[in-house]
Structures are given as C-alpha cells and as structure tokens.
Chain A
Amino acid sequence: MLMPEDVETLLALYRTMVKIRRFETLTGELFAAGKIPGFIHLSIGQEASSVGVCSTLRPDDYITTTHRGHGHVIAKGGDVRKMFAEVMGRKTGYCKGKGGSMHIADFSIGILGANGVVAGGFPIIVGAGLSIKLRKTDQVAVCFFGDGASNRGPFHEALNMASIWRLPILFVCENNQYASTTSVHYSTSVKSIALRAKGYGIASKSADGNNLLEVREAALEAVNRARQGEGPTLLENRTYRIRGHFEGDPQRYRTKEEVEKFSGNDPIQRFQKFLKDKKLLSERRDQQIRAEIDLELEEAVRFAEESPFPQPMDALEDLYTGDEAQALTQRSPL
C-alpha cells in the first residue's frame, strides 16, 4: 500500500527526523545548562508528523506552527543556526531575539510563524489559503496544531470557512494525547480529532503519526487534492509527547509506565528498523548520517553562543514600517 520511494528520498526523510531529534535534545541540554532563557516545549517523539507532512511541500507553500514548533521549522527547511541563535536570545536569530522558541518564522520559505496562542494559526492559514485562491497560484497552506487546539473556537471557524471556499489547506492535528497537562480523553468529545471534519464537510484521515511513510502518504494525497482545487483536508497524526509539556514539567498527570510504553513506539527507531530491514541503510551509513548531523548542529550551537545579544535599544525597532517607525514606539524622549 505504501508508495514506492527511491532510496535517497527515504534516507533524506530519515536524516531530517534525526536532525530534529538532535536539535531538540541539544535544546533540552542547553536549557538545563541555563543557556536558554524563558521556557521551551520539545517535540521529541513527534518527528514523523513534521517530516512526513513537510516533505510533501514546496518551498513556496505555507505553514503555520505552534509553541511546539521546532520540528516543523526544520522540516520546512529552516536554518538551525538562526534557530539556536533565536532560542538563545541572540541578535543573529531568526527574529533578532524578539521572538524566542515560541515565535520562530521564516517568511522566505513560507513559514508564517510559530504561535504562542493555542489555535493561533487557524485564522492565519485561512487567510493564506484565501490569498492563494485570489492570486490563482497552486500553492498549499498547512496549519499544524495539537489536540488541545481543536477545542478552541478558531478551529471551528477556520474549518467551516476553508470548507465553504474550498481553500487549499491541510489542517494537521498532532494528537499527542495531552493539552498541556490535560488528557485528550478527558477534554475532547470525540475519540478521534479526524471525526470533527465531518461536521464541516471536509475530507479527513487519521494516521499512525509515528509511522513516517503512513503520514507522508496521507499528506501527499491531501496536498495533491488541495493543489487541484479540491479543497481542505483534516489530517490527524496520532502520536505521543515523550517529554513534558515544557522542560521541567513535573508531569504529575501521567505515570512513568505510560511514558515508557509509548517510548517503545519511537518514530525514528521504527523508520530506522524499516530501512535496515529493507537493507536500505547500513550501520555505517547510519553512523555517518548521525555524525554529519552532530557536526552541523554543534557548529550551529557554537554560532549561536558566539553571537552577540541585542542592544537594549533594539527593543524599539521592528514594530512599524517606514522612516518614522521608531517614533511611534516611544511617547516622548523623557
């Protein structure tokens, strides 16, 4: 049932998943070492969703992502140097240190931004989809969100609007079982988020979100439909959040046994086994890929650590456009 893929494509998918895992692991370590201010949300265990979906997109396609968005940004082609610099609050970061972990964007490759507000991406993606339709291009727009976001109003307004206008949108739910600390089984009226598509008359599919190729196949089908003007799709990738809601989360709402059980269903290990079973990935090649990624990310961390912090007065830049922009940020030079 799975589509035939050439070896290099499969290895590239594997490589991106490993890269996301390494980025997240390093980010966790840097945070624990006190090198990242604020707080961070890691997507460890959810790599197959990011990579499976984004690997079906073109650079000019759009995505919106979430507070747990590092994986989506990397999968869409984001620059890990600028990402590390941003989460470490440096001037060389994607947002010059104004956004941090929850607000990374790269408009040059269609990343319309991570969002600190749960469900914040839905209304924006409707606008991107509408814009594609008005400009008559064949781009596609993808909104990543979690199970928790499907209980907010914007989800419902956006699915209805995308449906009546047949917008080229993928609504991709990463059902990782928890909205912050609250179980999806408690908070959500349906067993599967995909069921909610029916109420809005749009196509849907629920995939094993830890099976890379299953996610990719579902996404590819939805992307093709969207490009051909056949409207939006709601995809649910059933997965599990291995780490806490945020780093340092005491996780009083679940047991260690539960986490261990799901850790055995690791999407990267599964795909690695698939590749090795098919003899597409040798142990040596695997080690080579991992070594290359380690090198790239260590260099990126070094770049970030060696980058300067912004000047305090930089806080007054980038709010408005135009020559007098800065004057609008301060009332008077007292």
Chain B
Amino acid sequence: MSIRELTNTEAMAEALKEEMTKDPSVFIIGEDLVAHGGIFGQFVGLPQAFPGRVIDTPISETAIVGAGLGAALTGMRPFVDLHFADFTTCAMDEIANQVAKIRYMFGGQVRIPLVIWAPDGAGLSAAAHHSQSLEAWFIHTPGLKVVSPCNPSDVKGLIKTSLRDDDPILFFMHKKIFSRKGPVPEEEYFVPLGKADIKRNGTDVTVITYSIMVLHALEAAEQLEKEGISVEVLDLRTLWPMDWEMIAQSVSKNHRVVVAHEACLTGGFGAEVAARIQEELFDELDAPILRVGAFRVPIPFSPPMERFVIPGRDSVIKAIYKILGKEAN
C-alpha cells in the first residue's frame, strides 16, 4: 500500500470528496462553508466540486442540526458542521431529544444516517466558549455513537465509515490536530466504528486514551522509554461503541492502567472506562487505575492558566510514575 502525508484537515476533505462522489445523497451543511471553505478551511474545494451540495446556513444551530435530522429521515445522508463542539449546547434539544431518540421512540421505523462534526478541545487561547471537550455528554445519551480520532489515517477512514453508517454520529476532532500531518494510504480504506488501535506497544503500563491525548501519551511514552519504562498507548478512536475486547486484552497483559482525556476529570468518560475495568478485570490489576483529565473549571483564556488546567504529556508521565510507585525526577 503506498503512503503519502496529509494533514488531518486534508484527510477529512478527501474522505468527504470520495463519499460525495459515490453517493449523491451525501451533502454538507453548516455555517461559513461555501465562500470561506469552512471556518478552519476544512472544506476548501468541495463547494466547487459539488455545487449545491455544500450548503451555507444562517447562525441557527437548532435549525442546522434539525435540518440534518429532517433530511436524514427523508432519504439523505447529511454531514452537519457544527463549527465548534461548544455550540452543541445551542442545538442540544435536537441532538439529545430528537436525533438520539427518534429511531427508538418510533419503534425502529426509521434509520438516521447523520454525522454531526464538531471541532473540540483547548490549547488555542480560545477561552471558555470555544475550547470544551464535551464527549461525555453524548456518550451518556443513548442513541448516539461518538467518534474522536487523533491522526489523518484514522480521520479519513472513520469519516468514510461514519458517512455510510445508519446511526447518528457525533464526530469530534480536536482543533489542535487539524494541521498536523500523518501518513494516509492512497488506496481506498475504511476504519470500522468501535475498533480501538494500539498506537504503541508496551509492557509496563497501558494508557487508554483518545483524541489529542493520544499524541501527549505517545510523547510521554517516548520520554519514559529512555528511563526503561515501556508504555502501551491504546487509542480508543471510537468512544461509543467502545472496544472492550482490546481494552481487556491490554489490561490483562500489562496489569497497570492510566485513562487519559483532555475533558474535565469529574464525570468524564475515563470514569466509565475505569469503572468497567475494575468491575470485570479486578484480578488483573496490580495497582489502582489512575485517571488524567482537566481541572473542573471552564477553560481560561490566558495561556499560563489554560496550560495549567488541561492535561498534557507531563500529566501522563506523572500518572505513570505514580502507578509504578516511582518518584518523579
């Protein structure tokens, strides 16, 4: 398989282009798409390639998500761009009460092939209304699937799979990874939903993580390797469905687990992962599971404060030292 380097943004655009070419029912809807190519330039070229199928909207998040839902109920496969994950709040009734429940409430009469794409995450001094990681809300909402990849090949493969899936999907992408490059196969491929990926093999401890924290965990692993500590990095990629099989394998192999995400620690998805591991794999554990996450404050604007409240490479390193009973150097 031949490989070239693409940014996450380019990988996403390529996935959309391929799927829109194959399936005329796929269209993109959201704010600032046509002239601007998306607020992050993520759709540059697509409005020209698919006239009328990349649709600009007023700033009306409720109606944008609802429009995606109504179109999905009547034969289309919409890709909704929500601009920022923070703005899911403006469309929360549509996401949590309608999109998530309609298939179930109506006894399975209908399928909802809908992707809601939402850039999330902090680290850009974007302050409290443009920096959140809200995935836990949506994992907590029955009816949704939740995806949060960290590199271009996963982004492309998961966008393609999501566009062909018949259930509603919240697709989160961390803003800080948009321009990061990575290898992407030339040939067509798909990444299945619900399949995690070992991004680095290791034998002393498993870090279960996703999104940008995968990159921080990989940096931590590289650093710790110099000290003779072998870290496995398990990238969930899809948060719901969760790949319990791969989690169980890695936990049973390494017996020490750190769960890490950028979202606020309290009530975060890491708590669910940790709880399930201790319920089902307690005998495999040699140490209590440790969690890494943000402080429970809104994301502050000024860089020193923002850096302080969100976790990064060093937070993962600290947790690994602690779980191995070592003092930090």
Q: Which A residues lie at the B interface, using CB under 8 A?
A: 62, 93-99, 103, 105-107, 112-113, 115-117, 120, 122-132, 134-135, 141, 153-154, 157-158, 160-161, 164, 317-322, 324, 327-329, 331-332, 334
Contacts and interface: CB of A to CB of B under 8 A. Distances in A.
Contacts of B166: 321-322
B74 to A, nearest CB: 4
17 contacts: A95-B107, A96-B107, A105-B110, A113-B105, A113-B106, A120-B97, A123-B94, A124-B73, A127-B78, A128-B71, A130-B67, A134-B52, A134-B71, A134-B76, A161-B60, A324-B194, A328-B241
Contacts of B94: 123
A99 B62 contact: no
Given A99-B105, A130-B71, 17 more contacts: A94-B107, A95-B105, A95-B107, A95-B109, A98-B104, A105-B109, A107-B106, A113-B105, A126-B67, A127-B72, A128-B71, A130-B29, A161-B58, A319-B103, A319-B143, A321-B167, A324-B194
Nearest to B74: A131
Contacts of B37: none
A317 B103 CA distance: 10
B246 to A, nearest CB: 15
Interface in B43-88: 52-53, 55, 57-58, 60, 62-63, 65-76, 78
Contact of A128 (B29, B57, B74, B111): B74
Contacts of A117: 93, 97-98
Contacts of B69: 123-124, 127
A97 B106 CA distance: 9
A124 B109 CA distance: 16
Interface of B: 27, 29, 52-53, 55, 57-58, 60, 62-63, 65-76, 78, 93-94, 97-98, 102-111, 142-143, 145, 166-167, 194, 240-241, 244, 276, 279-280
Given A113-B102, A331-B276, A127 B107 contact: no
Given A94-B107, A95-B109, A127 B68 contact: yes
A123 B67 contact: yes
Given A123-B98, A318-B103, A154 B111 contact: no
A123 B106 contact: no
B60 A160 contact: yes
Contacts of A153: 62
A49 to B, nearest CB: 22
Given A127-B71, A158-B66, A103 B103 contact: no
Contacts of B55: 130
A112 B276 contact: no
Contacts of A115: 98
A328 B97 contact: no
A157 B63 contact: yes
